[in-house]
Amino acid sequence: MARETSCLTRITAGVAIGGALGGAVGAVYGTYEAVRFRVPGLMKIRYIGQTTLGSAAIFGLFLGAGSLIHCGK
């Protein structure tokens, strides 16, 4: 039972770290793209938010999956 709890903790930590890292990268990239493509007005906030959340979800998913695979060894 302790091994399962440890594995679940590792996966959760992987998802959290991946989400945080992906959110940071997505915010920087979204801001750059919004300025580069001259997104008008308040649409910049929506564009940056979508990029941030999408990037956080993808990074979190992959880091969580990597933790799951690594935990099975």
pLDDT in tens, 3-19: 667 899 999 999 999 99
Q: Give the CA dihedral 67, 19, 13, 11, nearest 10 degrees.
A: -30
Give the length of the chain: 73
Which pLDDT score is estimated for 2?
64
Q: Which pTM value belongs to this model?
A: 0.86
Q: For the chain, which residues make up each domain, given as ranges?
A: 9-67
Instruction: Encode pLDDT of 44-62 as tens digits.
Output: 999 999 999 999 999 999 9
Task: Give dist(CA 48, CA 52) in Å, integer.
Answer: 6
Q: What is the DSSP string of 15-73?
A: HHHHHHHHHHHHHHHHHHHHHHTT--TTHHHHHHHHHHHHHHHHHHHHHHHHHHHHHT-
